[in-house]
Amino acid sequence: APDLKTCKAYISVLGDEKAQQDTLKGLTSAEGYIRRELARTVNMRNTPEIRFILDQSIEYGVNISRKIDEVTGNSENGAEE
């Protein structure tokens, strides 16, 4: 945010849906501690409120890469026959 009162932290979790939700739940419960440590170490007028947001772009990229490997692997095997 322009006023630096909120901070969005995008996180990636490799694992299933339960692992992602557990990680978000853990980070959300530790938000107060993280904010205190941030206030202690960074000299700012206001310590921002931290919001953790699940970023699935890495998982999406891995999925696309797998699909490309499947297609190129299948086309190479089909050409040899």
pLDDT digits (tens, 9 = 90+) for 10-54: 999 888 899 999 999 999 999 999 999 999 998 888 889 999 999
- Structural domains of the chain, ranges and CATH numbers in brackets: 6-80 (3.30.300.20)
- As a three-state string, the secondary structure of the chain is CCCCCEEEEEECCCCCHHHHHHHHHHHHHCHHHHHHHHHHHCCCCCCCEEEEEECCHHHHHHHHHHHHHHHHHHHHHHHHC
Q: Is the per-residue pLDDT at 71 higher than 80?
A: yes
pLDDT digits (tens, 9 = 90+) for 2-11: 778 899 999 9
